[in-house]
Amino acid sequence: MQAASTHSIWQKDIMYLKKVGPKRAEALWEACRIKTYEDLLHYYPRKYVDRSRVAKITELDGSEPSVSLVGKLTRLELVKTKRGKNRLAGTFTDGSGFLELTWFQGIKWIQQSLKVGEELAIFGKVNRYGGSLQMTHPEIDRLSQNSETRHTGQIVPFYASNEKLSRLGLDSRGFRTLMAQLLQEARNMIAETLNPQLMQEQGLVSRALALQAIHFPQNFGQLRQAKDRLKFEEFFFFELMLALRRMHARVQNQAPPFGQIGEHFHQFFEEHMPFELTGAQKRVLKEIRKDLAQPVQMNRLIQGDVGSGKTMVAFMSMLMAKDNGYQCALMAPTAILATQHYKKLTRMAEKVGMTTTLLVGGQKKKERTQVLESIASGETDIAIGTHALIEDTVQFEKLGLVIVDEQHKFGVKQRARLWSKANPFPHNMVMTATPIPRTLAMTLYGDVDVSVIDELPPGRQPIQTMVHRESKRLEVFGFIRREIEAGRQAYVVYPLVEESEKLDYLAAVKGFELLERHFQPFRVGIVHGKMKPDDKEIEMQRFVKNETQILVSTTVIEVGVDVPNATIMLIENAERFGLSQLHQLRGRVGRGGGKSYCVLMAGKKLSEEGKIRLKAMKESTDGFNLSEIDLKLRGPGDFLGTRQSGLPEFRVANLVDDQEILKRARDAAFDLAEKDPDLSAPEQAAIRRFYVQYARKNGKLGTVA
């Protein structure tokens, strides 16, 4: 993603670099996607080793971290292990003592390339086995083979390589040689991409120095400066793109200003408000109101934990639309959820004489026609539905506000199709209960405003979370029975089994049968992905009415249903769920029906990460806190689910670890975008030149021609 400079040398085919040639060029492309000089320049070391300090074998006891040693092999031979496999064993000495070396993999290759008596620098972790010191799969530099000091005696870079590349001489050592060659040829042509003032303000070294030092640092201080500079640059241009896009959007998308707060809003607020809004709800409403009053499209993401009261915030925004003569649309990811919204909103809307309609798949033709007519004529104030709302047959009389619940389930394109049903565009609001860490939200939604409802309505009792192993199952069941005998209800959730709907279904059905037997005379219901929506709805209703006391399900209850009397959430094989999913599930209880519990049953195979996740669930009930932990555990890519996240690939920078730099880069980028949205001032020439390339390369709309 980092274009190096505009100078053409960087676009030169890597084949032409000294010591490369066509064969290696092909291998470099295949293994590392290195095609040009520029690509090679940005092929950064995967680690650095301080070889300026060489240890002595006699001084080691096996407790130290990795060490460098210089010496030679006195023995190298193939040994059969007890299980009949081969391993390669060697003895290494530096004159002060002896060390056993062992290889289990790549034996043939090592055997071919190492000779007894040859001078080597080795690096790795020493362990003590019985009386002897031992190192497995050491990293090796053959000193006698090269006279250059680049490979040892200083901070040495290590590059990712593979066997094929190694055979062509492109192991870490080979890469070092190429990098030195590249920098020697082209160092003077590394163009600066930032301006001097910004660099000074931010305490950044030049780009040329940074790129030299990231490959061949003279010391760790210099390496750190190099990384800081490159991280800043990566974040800066990404944020600049977001900033400029946002400016662009501001200018482009007109929307109707909702200038007045009128009778519907006032009437509801004064006569029908069932509770006092929380501070967070008030604050977010204020933010929304300010946006809606503008003649430009609102683009606001409302993040709020399960139960934080997003529905009321949505409804009050709808009242503002109504007071200004506009219709609203609310889109939910499933029919169950849409229906639930419809019921809730209808109850509130009726109080102030507003009309609602529901549009979901599977409605009778006659009903559907009526709904469509009602929306088209403007009789409907609030149209609620699934993505059925997007279809071309749906026409609004005067659509002014679109609200989407659960943003992850809808693509940007789908949302944009809803917008196109109005001219000018409607205001746009997205509600999500999946908390995205603040820092990530800030980065991801640089072109969207984010509001956070970070407070739960008062009087909620915290949910108590327990983690249990199989051995405690009878106790857990006993506990559930007592709760049910006291009039409560319970959910029991089974995880997806290896992404297979069939197995998933089987596990739930088996569980259902077990529970039915165990909990007699109480009744157990089941919902799963294979059921028809109508049947699901019937089962859910039975649970809502307390005709069943236990509801077994696969993850379908993840979003939506609200049964205050349910106070237990039992999750089987809880380690198979992601943190945010667990948190969502837990949010199904503790909805006003008294003290609630979440029981996480841990399976037999519990990984370290699984343990951390379950522990986090036990210790925290804060969705944002949990999402931060989740992000740390999984990394941004997995967390957001693939490349669709809209994030570029950061080479040096890390969204989790480098938040301080991210913040600085973001502030600087947004400042600049504000001050000089065309990047036309002469002192911005370097930034502008690079930005144009960057925006093109990242396939996003660049607002600078």
Q: Which residues bind ligand ADP (CB under 6 A)?
A: 275, 277-278, 281, 304, 306-312, 433, 457
- Closest CB to ligand ADP among residues 46, 282: 282
Minimum CB separation of residue 234 from ligand ADP in Å reads: 35
> How many other CB atoms are found less than 10 A from the CB of residue 290?
11
Residue type, 176: R
- Least separation in angstroms between residue 455's CB and ligand ADP is 9
Question: Smallest distance from the beta carbon of 632 to ligand ADP, in angstroms?
Answer: 25
Checking 509-513 for CB contacts under 8 A at 24+ apart, the result is: 511/552, 511/572, 512/552
State the nearest-atom distance from the C-beta of 340 to ligand ADP, in Å: 9
For ligand ADP, the closer of residues 560 and 610 by Cβ is 560
Place of tokens 């870490």: 172
Quick one: which of 255, 22, 268, 236 has its CA closest to 671? 236
Torsion sign (Cα): 227, 661, 698, 672: negative
The smaller minimum CB distance to ligand ADP, of residues 433 and 526, is found at 433
Place of tokens 């002192």: 683
384 by Cβ neighbours in 10 Å (0-12 / 13-18 / 19+) ranks as buried
Show the 3-state SS of 555-596. Answer: HHHHCCCCCCCEEEEEECCHHHCCHHHHHHHHCCCCCCCCCC
Please say whether the dihedral angle defined by the alpha carbons of residues 26, 27, 29 and 34, taken in this order, is positive or negative.
negative
CA pair distance 588, 389, nearest whole angstrom: 27
Q: Can you tell me the distance from the alpha carbon of 451 to that of 245, in angstroms, rounded to the nearest whole number?
A: 19
Q: Point out which residues pair with 36 in neighbouring strands.
A: 13
The Cα-based distances of 495 to 467, 505, 580, 600 in angstroms read: 16, 9, 14, 12
Is 27 or 332 the residue whose CB approaches ligand ADP more closely? 332
In 143-290 the beta strands, taken as DSSP E runs, fall at 155-158
- We find the least distance from the C-beta atom of residue 156 to ligand ADP, in angstroms, to be 54
Q: How far is the CB of 139 from ligand ADP (least distance, A)?
A: 52
Element housing 366 (H / E) = helix 365-377
Rounded least distance, CB 315 to ligand ADP, Å? 9
Nearer to ligand ADP, 227 or 310 (CB): 310
Shortest distance in whole angstroms from residue 586 CB to ligand ADP: 12
Q: At closest approach, how far in Å is the CB of 453 from ligand ADP?
A: 7
Peptide bond into 424 cis (omega under 30): yes
Closest approach, Cβ 673 to ligand ADP, in A, equals 33
Nearer to ligand ADP among residue 402 and residue 508 (C-beta): 402
Q: Give whichever of 306 and 527 is closer to ligand ADP, judged by the CB atom.
A: 306
Rounded least distance, CB 561 to ligand ADP, Å: 11
Q: With respect to ligand ADP, which residue has the nearer C-beta, 378 or 457?
A: 457
Q: How far apart are CA 287 and CA 259, in angstroms?
A: 14
Nearest to 66 by CA among 13, 137, 114: 137
Which residue number has the CB closest to ligand ADP?
Answer: 309
Q: Which is nearer to ligand ADP, 245 or 583 (CB)?
A: 583
Identity of the residue, 354 or 661, whose beta carbon is nearer to ligand ADP in the bound complex: 354
Give the residue with the Cβ less far from ligand ADP, 225 or 281.
Answer: 281
| Residue with smaller CB distance to ligand ADP, 374 or 407 | 407
User: What is the closest distance, in whole angstroms, from the C-beta atom of residue 168 to ligand ADP in the complex?
Assistant: 58
The least distance separating ligand ADP from the CB of residue 560, rounded to whole angstroms, comes to 9
| Helix/strand/coil percentages in the chain, nearest 5 | 45, 20, 35
Nearer to ligand ADP, 405 or 628 (CB): 405
Nearest to 396 by CA among 415, 382, 377, 413: 377
Helix (H, G, I), strand (E, B) or coil at 396: coil
Q: Which two tokens stand for residue 126?
A: 């020493």
User: What residue spans of 33-146 are helical by DSSP H?
Assistant: 37-41, 107-113
